[in-house]
Structure 1
Amino acid sequence: MSSGPAGQTARSSVPPLTHGQRGVQRRATLRTHDGVAIEAAYDPGPDPEGEVAVVLAHGFTGDLSRPHVQRIAGVFAQRAAVITFSFRGHGGSGGHSTVGDREVLDLAAAVAWARSLGHARVVTVGFSMGGSVVLRHAALHRGRTEARTDAVVAVSAPARWYYRGTAPMRRLHWVVTRRAGRTVGRLGLRTRIHPHEWDPVPLSPVESVPLIAPTPLLIVHGDRDPYFPVDHPRMLAAAAEGGAELWLEEGMGHAEHAATDELVGRIASWVTASWTSSTAD
């Protein structure tokens, strides 16, 4: 679902167009490498001079203003600086959703903004579609100073494209692939969806995972996820060949709505531990 080549080789170019004062939450408009305006927000967390920033990548039909996204951001902000943003086609961002393809460029813009704010370590945390994006971003932006990530957390992420094995995913495919579905997406879900199929098909999450090492990787998934059953996280972990940590959460459903504050706090602790470990090496 792309009007041109997927974002495998693109760089991000992300000067903030608007921003506030350091020490208070600020808003910005970021510009991606392909020219899409992305709304973003920055919370400096408990220490405005802290080294770690977490960049949150929301799920399909989310945006930075949604209560479930703000709740997750609030838990992380107790430990670190946090950047939230709306993927293209969502919220106040421009463009149209490509459901995981060119969204890599949106995430790259947010990561580069975090680095421009002075954070030495940037960790990407993605949910559902955002989970697939953080995996692809980590694989495609290795070694690039402004857009690289230092650790990756994928929550409720799919392993492969075109999955239709559950009723929720069959409904989602109808929204994405049918004109009537895209109208429902625009009017009912506040999500503008690109009308064209992917060309070429982007690198899948499971194809991306082997390219992420040695960057620390955490895969989190609920054993009651109604969208993607547990073969998805297990496939992702297997592709990492021992280079990923897998948490299968008992009783958990899907993505941000199912992630408890306790789970998000544990993820935040993992982020901090991975930073401590890497600086000690």
Structure 2
Amino acid sequence: MARSTDRPKGETGRGGPARTFLRTADGVRIEAVYDPGATVDDASASPSGAPVFVIAHGFTGDVDRPHVRRVAAAFARYGAVVTFSFRGHGASGGRSTVGDREVLDLLAAVEWARGLGHARVVTVGFSMGGSVVLRHAALYGRFGDGERLYGRSGAREHGGRTDAVVSVSAPARWYYRGTAPMRRLHWLVTRPAGRLVGRYGFRTRIHHREWDPVPLSPVEAVPRIAPTPLLIVHGDRDGYFPLDHPRMLADAAGDQGELWLERGMGHAENAAADELLERIARWAVAQGS
């Protein structure tokens, strides 16, 4: 089970956001921020039924990046919000494994959200974070085997499961190099010079080891998520992953998933308009009604 190494410390006074550090099942220290949010303004939901949104950012993001804070502020209108920095990002410890052991970072954040008293948890991931929310829901859901793969965490006993999943701009399969941005990203991750650029140019510390074993791919994870509600969101101008990726994910989900193809949208948090974030939040709230 993940534990907070510090009590949450208020940043804006009583009732405002609070910052702390969590400890993952494999011992990595993860920074996290909790915002209790405002009263739900959706007439279809009561404040007592409002979810907590756990936001999983994209590669090179962190809790203090402006685009992450904008997403958090949008969701805070509909419930509480937990944001955190993946390992190797921001003030978190460790090094990025680019979507593999990051599932334990998300697990720690979900367990923390449950421990703060929230009955409903919605995970929302962008790009790399989108692949992580899919794998987390598959590995730590009703039929998951995350404890066998990553070590015992007490996820089932202590609330590591999510009640709804939203994946935005996620890949369907690993090692994709079909676009120029993804070829640049692979250079960043796989080459020593690229990792130096990641560390000093993007404030992201990247692990030098290759995956062993290769983790469950997003498209393999999706069928294991049911019956948890799943929303897949993707832009038709995404420069990283073309439309065959969300369509593969939606096909794998079958009737258990919903696909939104957004006209004119690019990639991940920076491309997600406030109107889209509001629609996603309303979808999530409606899953508990």
Per the normalisation by structure 2, the TM-score is: 0.89
- Counterpart amino acid of residue 85 in structure 2: S
Paired residues of 1:16 and 1:113 also in contact (CA < 8 A): no
Q: Which residue of 2 aligns with 1:260?
A: 273
Matches of 1:151 and 1:53, distance apart in 2 = 11
| C-alpha distance in 2 between matches for 1:56 and 1:98 | 18
**Equivalents in 2 of 1:34, 1:159: separation in Å?**
26
Question: For 1:189, which of 198, 202, 214 is the aligned residue?
Answer: 202
Tell me which residue corresponds to 1:139. 138
1:35 aligns with 2:27: yes
Does the 8 Å CA contact 1:89/1:191 hold for their aligned counterparts?
yes
Deviations 1:178-228 (A, max 9, x none): 000000000000000000000000000000000000000000000000000
1:18 counterpart (7, 13, 19) = 7
C-alpha distance in structure 2 between counterparts of 1:132 and 1:200, whole Å? 17
1:86 aligned onto 2:85: yes
SS in 2 for 1:214: coil
Q: How many residues align?
A: 265
The code of the aligned residue for 2:3 comes to: V
Q: 1:151 aligns with which of 164, 182, 194?
A: 164
Q: List runs of 5+ in structure 2 lacking aligned partners.
A: 40-46, 143-155
Distance 2:9 2:90 in 1: 20
Deviation at 1:52, TM superposition (A): 1.2
Contact 1:226 1:254 in 2 (8 A): yes
- Secondary structure in structure 2 of the residue aligned to 1:275: coil
Q: How does 1:61-76 map to 2 (within 5 A)?
A: 61-76=60-75
Alignment of 1:217-232 (within 5 A): 217-232=230-245
Structure 1: distance between partners of 2:189 and 2:49: 40
CA distance in 1, matches of 2:175, 2:217: 10
Structural RMSD (CA): 1.3
8 A contact 1:14–1:33 mirrored in 2 = no
Structure 2 distance, partners of 1:270, 1:14, is 30
CA contact (8 A) 2:50 2:78 kept: no
- AA paired with 2:128? M
In the TM superposition, residue 63 of structure 1 has moved relative to its aligned partner by 0.3
SS of match in other structure, 1:199: coil
Query: What do the CA deviations read for 1:240-269 (whole angstroms, capped 9, x no partner)?
Result: 122100000001000000000000000000
- Contact 1:55-1:124 within 8 A present in 2 as well: yes
